[in-house]
Amino acid sequence: MVLNNVPHDYSVISSGLGQLRPGFLLLVPIKMDELKIGVIELASFRAVEKLKISLVEKVASSLTSVVSIMKANEVAIKAGEATKLQNEEMRAAEEEMKQNMEEMKAVQEDLHRQMEENRKIAQEFEIERVFLNAIMETIPDFVYFKNAEGKFIRISSSMLSYLKASRPEDVIGKTTVELNPGSNVMEILKMEQEIMKSGEGVAGHIEHIKRKDKTEQWITVTRIPIYNKEGICLGLFGLSRDITAEKKLSDLGKKK
């Protein structure tokens, strides 16, 4: 496109000598087939010869290839960068997945180890439970456990006769005061609370019990507070032995 009448408001040509509006304008497109890439704009004070116009057109043709190659390279570079970024993201995702798998494997191993430890603990607990049941069923002494409120939570079978009960269910969940086996129940309750409060047990303490049916009984008592790992008192362990027969024989010997 050739313009001999350049618009008045068109850009001026500036130099060290001054500036002047051009009188001639040549516009040569840079395109490949129907793809328009750009344009060469040549401004002059006077008309450009056809030979020079032809030269500019050839330059435009050459620039078409150059610009096309540059754009293709730019697209290739962007595609390469996108591929690189995608690969990095994939590697990061794979690394994260690998780390998650390792963490999951570690969790599974910990869970398996914990389950194995729980199984061993359960086996040991079962053995201890069997032993304790055997002791509680056969020991002639009075053995019992109380909670922090002074209520029975486990007793030996031998204590049923002492408490005048027919089965353990009649005793569990009750205090000595509620069962009232003798005249000194309040004294026993006070002693138990003091042991759990102070943390100091008693051993070999002799108690004289006067029952409602006017019979008397002497027992030796051992009471020990029970604590958990945090140092909190959970209750009381008691072990008693009936020494009524020995006491009566001793008193009889003293009278003689």
Q: How far apart are CA 242 and CA 231, in angstroms?
A: 32
Q: What is the pLDDT of residue 255?
A: 64
pLDDT of 117? 92
Q: What is the spatial order of strands in the sheet that 233-242 belongs to?
A: 152-155, 142-147, 233-242, 216-227, 202-210
The residue extents of the domains of the chain are: 2-84, 140-255
pLDDT of residue 196: 92
CATH of segment(s) 140-255: 3.30.450.20
Predicted confidence at residue 112, as pLDDT, reads 92
Total residue length of the chain: 256
Distance, in Å, from the CA atom of 6 to the CA atom of 129, rounded to the nearest integer, reads 110
CB 139 within 8 A of CB 158: yes
Q: Are 106 and 123 in contact (CB under 8 A)?
A: no
Mean pLDDT per block of 10 residues along the chain (256 residues) reads 81 81 84 78 83 84 78 86 90 92 92 92 91 88 92 92 86 86 78 91 87 82 92 92 85 67
Q: What is the pLDDT of residue 58?
A: 85
**pLDDT in the model for residue 71:** 79
Residue where the block lists tokens 């959970």: 234
Which residues fall within 8 angstroms of residue 154, CB to CB, at 6 or more apart?
Answer: 136, 144, 145, 172
